[in-house]
Chains A and B, each alone.
Chain A
Amino acid sequence: MSPDVPRVESVVRTIADTCIENEKYFGDLDSVVGDGDFGFSLARGFENVVAQWDTFDRSDVGTFLQKIAIVMTGRIGGTSGPIWGTAFLRAAAVVKGKPDATGEDVVAMLRAAIEGIKARGGADLGEKTLLDALAPMTDTIEANLGAEPKDVAKRAAESARAAAEATKSMQARRGRASYTGERSIGSVDPGAIAVAVLAERVAETW
């Protein structure tokens, strides 16, 4: 798969629209063990992205994603803004100055985003966060790089969904949910489910 700027644009737009549409669903998931502001934070951040959509510098993929990161994070408080913003920022750095992104670039962008989230949030795999969906999804994309892009997107979504559902048996170690300790076992992680929902929508609209 070899997405050019318009493909990156359409994926980002799908992510933004999906987060806005799912504000209540994501918030409800978060209120089980978190503080319920996850859906609100993501929706407000991506609303700012959509509001300024036509003004972004599209001269290359990296610049475009960097602007998304700044606008997404700029005015929302809490931890979701910096975490998601950092993911976009680190992905942007991988393709800075490139007119186009290859399939290998996409994997490198996702790996950089994962490392950024780990650094910013001090989290690691297995601690019941969005990383537990993002990392297996990236592995799936890497393993299927030679396949048709639409098929890769579909397999990535299936992998993200399975991994997100598997967070149900994990105990939260990071963020507000970690204060509930063992009570966090038995509910899915809202960030991981959000990754699955987004991957599914990206696959549908490919």
Chain B
Amino acid sequence: MKKFVNDPKNFVPEMLKGIALANPDTLRYVPEYNLIMRADAPNHAKVSIVQGSGSGHEPAHVMVVGKGMLDGACPGDVFAAPPMEYVLETAKLLASDKGVLLLVNNYTGDKMAFEMAAELAEAEGLNVRTLFINDDVAVKDSTWTVGRRGVAGNFFVMKAVGAASEAGADLDELVRIGEKVNSVTRTMGIALTPCTPPAKGSPLFELADDEMEVGVGIHGEPGRRRATLVSADEIVDELLGAVVPDLPYASGDEVALMINGLGGTPISELYLLYGAAHEKLAAQGITVGRSYVGEYCTSLDMAGASLTLVKLDDEITQLLLAPAEIANRVF
């Protein structure tokens, strides 16, 4: 697998440096903690929103730092939770008078690092709350696991709390909004190829030319099953068949529909999937009120896509409509 890379150990810092150099007016880079933060943070008129997680999911989360979204992101190495110190020091640097909200995708390592950092930050007198995102329907809740994973649906939680914090909502209100959005968001993904972490240099798992992994995680973790590749329409049926009954979404509901690329799939194919999903939902009486097509949460160079639904109400719709200014732009 060919990649643009120097020393693989420096892959993440070199990417972060590029983001900072491309956005000198709006972003600041703190190399000690892999931190990309808004240049004007902390803003004491609003709660600071922080997301950590591993790298390799870009634009999540370092490229969605900006007005109306995150105030800072402190990723770990590729597919690795950030060390506790990154989270603690980020919370301190971004501590505003209104507090700090930590958004965490639900994985064991991330959960532990963020919970411990929050405990230490509180001991130092900071006003910190933590919110876990777990939208992946592929993993069943189990007594023996940390539970469902956080995947592309994290975008909607970030967008909603980002907009609300910009409008001055306090920490309790943001937790309420974040938990509400998370509770009506469901996602499932499908992989056509594995991905290749720069430090490993070879694919993370094997997938034959005629196979797909149904319910794949954003680090290439196994999903529900491995199956023979089928048509795009049949794949959309499979994804909707898993996502729609899970909440459930029902006839008469208005939803946001996201087709998210996992890093190695052209946007043409994503729009093809979107069109099929939109029509199939309409046939079930479910109206798409907001649409999202593109790369929001990836797995490096994995070919594949995920489908996310969010059940909309007036409050969520208004928060999704609010403007945002982030580094990940093409205009």
Contact = CB atoms under 8 A, between A and B. Distances in A.
B85 A79 contact: no
Contacts of A77: 76-77, 80-81, 83, 109, 113
Interface in B96-120: 108-109, 112-113, 115-116, 119-120
B257 interface: no
A85 to B, nearest CB: 6
The A interface is mostly helix, strand or loop, or mixed, namely: helix
A146 interface: no
Given A77-B83, A173-B144, A82 B120 contact: no
A198 B304 CA distance: 48
A81 B83 contact: yes
A75 B85 contact: yes
B232 interface: no
Interface in B59-85: 76-77, 80-81, 83-85
Contact of B116 (A66, A73, A174, A178): A73
A137 interface: no
A86 B116 CA distance: 7
A159 to B, nearest CB: 28
Contact of B144 (A74, A76, A121, A178): A178
Contacts of B144: 173-174, 178
A78 B112 CA distance: 9
A194 to B, nearest CB: 18
Contacts of A120: 112, 115-116
Nearest to A120: B112
A82 B80 CA distance: 14
B146 interface: yes
Nearest to A176: B108
A73 B120 CA distance: 11
A74 B85 contact: yes
A17 B108 CA distance: 28
Nearest to B147: A122
A178 B145 CA distance: 9
Given A85-B116, A86-B116, A178-B144, 18 more contacts: A66-B123, A70-B88, A70-B120, A73-B83, A73-B84, A74-B83, A74-B88, A75-B85, A77-B77, A77-B113, A78-B109, A79-B112, A82-B84, A82-B113, A83-B112, A86-B119, A89-B119, A89-B120
25 contacts: A69-B120, A70-B120, A73-B83, A73-B84, A73-B116, A74-B85, A75-B85, A76-B83, A77-B77, A77-B80, A77-B83, A77-B113, A79-B109, A81-B83, A81-B84, A81-B113, A82-B112, A82-B115, A85-B84, A86-B116, A86-B119, A89-B116, A120-B115, A121-B112, A173-B144
